[in-house]
């Protein structure tokens, strides 16, 4: 594969989740949850690049049961995305099915249900067969996080408990007289070029005094620094869809890179 990036898409009837992933180191270059018209225009723009990325779109498969109009509308948008990107002419392997993604990351589509109290396999009373349950999106998400160092490191961004994410605790004082030290960056004015001085208490006030760097987090404000998937926290209500788009991209790369 010549492309250095892959765009994974989890399509919807009105909004779609998308991620841009490096094919070299799995780093997430960009992500979002946007209106379908925006996504279509975005794909049109990137298709014109000299080093155009590859595309991987979750395709609708057989549900085995009646579906609503939203599903068919999503299918229409998938066609619009693919046409605008020019995948028909330049890339024939853009389709990714959810069952394939689940099997790839979880080993199978289903697993045997275990009784939490006895630790034994739960069986159907009538047939005696083991009860099966399908892997969920949350389980796929957990496996995807493992690729980035596990849940804690992958997302990270846990604020420091000592400074509450401020990076500093109080003001720096003279070790001799105990007086607060004036900020040398803003000359004690508390502002720089009309903005809060970043050296004064993290820019959160205009005190003109030097902030005391938190020793616990070394001034970063984080107990656990933001990980490669930290931006997922910007979309708390829809990040399940963005994780699915990421899983689609990673699955495609595992097959083609």
Give 231's DSSP letter: G
Three-class SS of residue 21? strand
Q: Domain 5-157+227-256 carries which CATH code? A: 3.30.420.10
- Range(s) within the chain of domains with CATH label 3.30.420.10: 5-157+227-256
Query: Which two tokens mark 223?
Result: 């107990």
Start-end of H helices in 113-190: 137-146, 151-155
- Give the mean pLDDT per block of 10 residues along the chain (257 residues): 86 96 93 97 92 92 78 94 83 89 89 81 84 84 93 89 74 52 51 44 46 76 90 92 96 91
Sequence-distant (6+) residues with CB within 8 A of 79 are none
pLDDT (0 to 100) of residue 74: 95
């Amino acid at each position: 594969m010549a492309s250095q990036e892959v765009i994974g898409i989890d399509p919807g009837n009105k909004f779609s989740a998308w991620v841009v992933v490096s094919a070299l180191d799995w780093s997430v270059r960009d992500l979002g949850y946007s209106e379908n018209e925006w996504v279509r225009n975005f794909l049109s723009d990137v298709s014109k690049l000299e080093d155009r990325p590859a595309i991987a779109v979750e395709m609708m498969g057989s549900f085995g049961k009646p579906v609503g109009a939203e599903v068919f509308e999503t299918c229409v948008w998938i066609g619009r995305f693919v046409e605008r990107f020019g995948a028909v002419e330049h890339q024939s392997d853009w389709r990714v099915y959810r069952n394939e993604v689940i099997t790839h990351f979880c080993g199978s589509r289903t697993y045997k249900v275990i009784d939490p109290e006895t630790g034994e396999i739960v069986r159907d009373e009538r047939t005696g067969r083991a009860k099966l349950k399908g892997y969920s999106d949350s389980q796929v998400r957990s496996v995807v996080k493992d690729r980035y160092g596990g849940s804690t490191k992958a997302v990270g961004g846990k604020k420091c408990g000592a400074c509450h994410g401020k990076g500093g605790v109080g003001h720096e004082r003279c070790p001799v007289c105990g007086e607060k030290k004036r900020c040398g960056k803003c000359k004690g004015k508390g502002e720089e070029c009309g903005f809060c001085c970043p050296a004064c208490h993290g820019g959160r006030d205009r005190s003109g005094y030097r902030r005391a760097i938190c020793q616990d987090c070394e001034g970063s404000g984080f107990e656990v620094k933001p990980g490669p998937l930290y931006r997922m926290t910007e979309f708390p209500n829809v990040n399940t869809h963005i994780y699915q788009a990421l899983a689609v991209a990673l699955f495609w790369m595992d097959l083609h890179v």
